[in-house]
């Protein structure tokens, strides 16, 4: 129950922080009983609460003072929780253990796998590399033959044979091979991660020391350039097509025209003016030739190579592509984004490219760390005794695997029976055949991963200070929640007499405003609304017309009817309130992008609520007041036990600030 209400708990305890052991400073800013709060502890808790040290330094002494008074209450409650033995309560310990199991794997994935992967990807994408490769696909001879061929040719390159010549002659990449293996500029996130891991170790002109295996085969990799990356560039262009208006190609005429236009630009003629007069790109001509923002490799290579070598405001000489001749002007460049601004994009790239590999590497690391050992004989036994059943169905021969160990780790032995029981109730494997070893191995891998992740989460408290802080934070929250439950919620006893008496004394505070109930027929078309208005004048029933024709979303089923509501609740109710008498309807009115006819059904003037009408509102207020009284009584009780003292003079030294109150 406590876990379900934890988000509510955070609101109750006002501040969420961890109980800090006093650090270096001996300056005391508060005492309660035999316990002290140092300025270091206060500063840590305050900075954590407001979002960091720099934010905290800008706050006023009054803010420090207010927080300290809350923090003192928080510390007294935690001490009281220890006195009551909540730190040894089995139910609460189970709550904490369940929480650690739930968040441990997510924390590991987020902080130990994804975060580091994103940070590396972010740093890599600051650069772009021009790369060449020679690819060897695994043919009929298989992977080994491809590997041998790659190594043999790499030896030739090391002995002086040109990389580019080898690429032209032997590469199985028919696009880059004829170009000496050049695949142009790339950045992290575009190629297989094994390829990128290798290329980012190279300087310009270097060749990777061994063939790199990816899903496409083996690659010999050479980096020819490394430079700072421009994420996006904005440009406009004038395109002089090879083809005239009749569709006849004349590349010489196009070149002469392009040279002429370029000369006019050099003489100071306005770029936009020349776009309108000469550009054959109909898609951009009316926009001054604007191509918007684009990334590297989105344009044809000749265009790309030119535009990404230019500066803002620079105009290129005519650039020839398959489309004709382009004269380009760079108008803007996008700066490299901050990590936080780019995080979502990085996450999408990482999940597609590197996450699965890094997750597998992390799990393999856990297997080594915890001495994981799989008993394949037990796997074979599970398969042999499955009698062709599938996961999700009761295993037919549990006796045959009853005493068999499936795997061991960290001194623990996991039985085949435990594995079968766990996977039987796991929908991820439901319906998959237990009699197929590859399917069983897939399930074993997933099951063992979960077991390893769980034991890793238990060790995180000792290995990761941030996770330890997270667990301390949750632990303190659970204790505060339990105290609140014992001292406030379980003591609440509000009866109907209390609620009625409060209402009697304060009934003038509970009233309805002026209210109206009304109907509406709405249409986007003037002709239709006029037709409905004529039908109403001829005696048609308003409700029936609304049920058939109103176009207000969701209101046909209600016959266009609106229950009693405050006349100022909406534009609809305000319009309906303008009607003079109950039962009357309006002429068509231009309304919310269409036309409406309103009918007033009932007008209730402001009035006091009856007890039954006010009961829920009054009960909530009485309960809130009683909760506050009980909470105050509890704090008073703690103050009488611990006699807290705050040393405001010392508190003024917090964050090196000495403001007056």
* Helical spans, DSSP H, in 464-525: 465-487, 496-506
Judgement on whether residues 372 and 324 belong to the same structural domain of the protein = no
Confidence of residue 6 (pLDDT cuts 50, 70, 90): very low
State the average pLDDT over residues 225-233: 97
Residue with tokens 């001879």: 141
Alpha-carbon distance 329 to 311, whole Å? 9
Alpha-carbon distance 136 to 112, whole Å? 35
Which pair of tokens denotes residue 135?
Answer: 């690819």
Return the HEC string of 567-621: CCCCHHHHHHCCCCCCCCECCCEEECCEEEEEEEEEEECCEECCHHHHHHHHHHH
459: pLDDT strictly greater than 80: yes
3: pLDDT strictly greater than 80: no
558: pLDDT strictly greater than 60: yes
3-state DSSP assignment of residue 45: helix
Question: What is the maximum span of the chain, computed from C-alpha positions, in angstroms?
Answer: 102
User: Could you read off the pLDDT of 594-641 as tens digits, one per residue?
Assistant: 999 999 999 999 999 999 999 999 999 999 999 999 999 999 999 999
Are the beta carbons of 278 and 261 closer than 8 angstroms? Answer: yes
User: Could you read off the pLDDT of 268-315 as tens digits, one per residue?
Assistant: 999 999 999 999 999 999 999 999 999 999 999 999 999 999 999 999
DSSP codes of every residue in 264-321: HHHTT--HHHHHHHH---HHHHTTTTEEEEE-TTSS-HHHHHHHTT--TT-BPPPEEE
pLDDT of residue 301: 96
pLDDT of residue 139: 79
Judgement on whether residues 164 and 250 belong to the same structural domain of the protein = no
Judgement on whether residues 144 and 201 belong to the same structural domain of the protein = yes
10 against 429, higher pLDDT: 429
pLDDT of residue 657: 54
Q: Is there a domain that residue 631 lies in? A: no
616: number of Cβ within 10 Å: 10
User: Could you read off the pLDDT of 325-342 as tens digits, one per residue?
Assistant: 999 999 999 999 999 999
Tell me, what CATH number does 294's domain have?
A: 3.10.50.40
Residue 138, C-beta contacts closer than 8 angstroms, at least 6 positions apart: 145, 146, 217
Judgement on whether residues 209 and 269 belong to the same structural domain of the protein = no
pLDDT of residue 141: 72
User: Measuring CA to CA, how many Å separate 248 from each of 243, 253, 275, 318?
Assistant: 5, 11, 22, 21
Judgement on whether residues 317 and 402 belong to the same structural domain of the protein = no
Boundary of a domain, candidates 228, 249, 272: 228
Q: What share of the chain is helix, strand, coil (3-state, %, to 5)?
A: 50, 20, 30
User: Could you read off the pLDDT of 595-604 as tens digits, one per residue?
Assistant: 999 999 999 9
Q: Is there a domain that residue 346 lies in? A: no
CA 560, distance to chain mean position in Å, is: 41
Judgement on whether residues 154 and 180 belong to the same structural domain of the protein = yes
Boundary of a domain, candidates 228, 258, 288: 228
Judgement on whether residues 241 and 223 belong to the same structural domain of the protein = no
Judgement on whether residues 221 and 239 belong to the same structural domain of the protein = no
143: pLDDT strictly greater than 70: yes
Q: Is there a domain that residue 224 lies in? A: yes
304: number of Cβ within 10 Å: 20
pLDDT of residue 318: 97
Q: Is there a domain that residue 429 lies in? A: yes
pLDDT of residue 430: 87
pLDDT of residue 25: 55
State the average pLDDT over residues 449-462: 92
Q: Is there a domain that residue 69 lies in? A: no
Judgement on whether residues 208 and 300 belong to the same structural domain of the protein = no
CA 80, distance to chain mean position in Å, is: 38
417: pLDDT strictly greater than 90: yes
Judgement on whether residues 213 and 238 belong to the same structural domain of the protein = no
Boundary of a domain, candidates 397, 430, 461: 461
Judgement on whether residues 375 and 409 belong to the same structural domain of the protein = yes
Instruction: Provide the whole-model pTM.
Output: 0.70
CB-count burial class (<10 Å; 0-12, 13-18, 19+) for 65: middle
14: pLDDT strictly greater than 70: no
3-state DSSP assignment of residue 234: strand
> Whole domain around residue 522: which residue ranges?
511-608
Judgement on whether residues 239 and 166 belong to the same structural domain of the protein = no
Confidence of residue 425 (pLDDT cuts 50, 70, 90): confident
133: pLDDT strictly greater than 60: yes
Count of domains forming the chain? 4
Confidence of residue 15 (pLDDT cuts 50, 70, 90): very low
Q: Is there a domain that residue 100 lies in? A: no
Q: Is there a domain that residue 239 lies in? A: yes
Q: What is the mean pLDDT of the chain?
A: 92
Q: Is there a domain that residue 251 lies in? A: yes
């Amino acid at each position: 129950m406590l876990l379900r209400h934890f988000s509510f708990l955070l609101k109750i305890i006002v501040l969420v922080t961890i109980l800090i052991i006093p650090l270096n400073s001996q300056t005391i800013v508060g005492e309660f009983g035999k316990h002290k709060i140092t300025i270091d502890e206060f500063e840590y808790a305050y900075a954590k609460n407001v979002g960091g040290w720099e934010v905290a330094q800008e706050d006023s002494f009054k803010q420090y003072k207010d927080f300290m008074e809350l923090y003192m209450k928080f510390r007294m409650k935690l001490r009281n929780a220890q006195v009551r033995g909540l730190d040894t309560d089995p139910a609460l310990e189970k709550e904490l253990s369940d929480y650690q199991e739930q968040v441990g794997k997510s924390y590991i994935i987020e902080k130990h796998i994804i975060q580091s992967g994103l940070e590396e990807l972010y740093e890599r994408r600051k650069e772009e590399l021009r790369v060449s490769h020679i690819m060897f696909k695994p043919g009929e001879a298989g992977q080994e033959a491809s590997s041998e061929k790659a190594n043999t040719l790499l030896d030739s390159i090391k002995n002086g044979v040109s990389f580019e010549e080898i690429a032209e002659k032997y590469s199985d990449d028919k696009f880059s091979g004829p170009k000496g293996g050049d695949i142009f500029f790339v950045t992290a996130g575009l190629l297989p991660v094994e390829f990128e891991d290798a290329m980012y170790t190279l300087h310009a002109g270097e060749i990777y020391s061994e063939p790199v295996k990816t899903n496409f085969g083996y690659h010999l990799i050479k980096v020819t350039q490394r430079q700072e990356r421009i994420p996006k560039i904005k440009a406009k262009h004038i395109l002089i097509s090879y083809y005239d208006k009749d569709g006849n190609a004349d590349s010489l005429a196009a070149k002469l025209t392009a040279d002429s236009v370029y000369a006019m630009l050099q003489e100071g003629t306005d770029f936009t003016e020349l776009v309108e007069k000469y550009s054959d790109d109909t898609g951009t001509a009316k926009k001054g030739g604007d191509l918007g923002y684009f990334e590297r490799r989105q344009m044809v290579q000749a265009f790309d190579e030119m535009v990404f070598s230019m500066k803002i405001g620079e105009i290129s000489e005519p650039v020839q592509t398959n489309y004709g001749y382009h004269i380009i002007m760079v108008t803007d460049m996008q700066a490299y984004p901050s990590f936080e601004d780019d995080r979502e994009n990085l996450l999408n790239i990482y999940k597609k490219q590197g996450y699965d590999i890094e997750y597998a590497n992390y799990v393999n690391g856990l297997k080594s760390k915890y001495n994981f050992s799989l008993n394949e004989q037990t796997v074979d036994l599970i398969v042999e005794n499955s009698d062709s059943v599938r996961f999700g169905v009761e295993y037919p021969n549990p006796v045959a695997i009853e005493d068999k160990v499936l795997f061991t780790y960290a001194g623990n032995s996991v039985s085949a029976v435990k594995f079968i029981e766990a996977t039987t109730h796991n929908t991820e494997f439901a319906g998959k055949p237990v009699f197929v070893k590859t399917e069983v191995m897939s399930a074993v891998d997933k099951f063992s991963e979960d077991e390893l992740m769980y034991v890793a989460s238990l060790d995180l408290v000792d290995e990761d200070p941030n996770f330890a802080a997270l667990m301390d934070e949750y632990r303190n929250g659970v204790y505060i929640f339990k105290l609140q439950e014992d001292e406030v919620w379980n003591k609440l006893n509000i009866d109907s007499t209390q609620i009625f008496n409060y209402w009697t004394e304060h009934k003038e505070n509970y009233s309805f405003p002026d209210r109206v109930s009304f109907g509406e027929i709405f249409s986007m078309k003037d002709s239709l609304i006029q037709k409905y208005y004529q039908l109403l004048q001829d005696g048609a029933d308003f409700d029936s017309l609304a049920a058939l024709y109103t176009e207000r979303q969701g209101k046909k089923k209600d016959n266009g009817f609106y229950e009693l509501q405050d006349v100022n609740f909406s534009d609809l109710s305000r319009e309906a309130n303008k009607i003079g008498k109950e039962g009357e309807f309006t002429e068509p009115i231009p309304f919310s992008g269409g036309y409406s006819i309103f009918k007033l059904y009932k007008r209730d003037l402001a009035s006091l609520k009856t007890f039954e009408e006010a009961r829920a509102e009054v009960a909530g207020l009485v309960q809130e007041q009683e909760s506050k009284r009980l909470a105050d009584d509890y704090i008073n009780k703690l103050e009488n036990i611990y006699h807290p003292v705050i040393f405001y003079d010392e508190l003024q030294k917090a964050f090196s600030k000495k403001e007056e109150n």
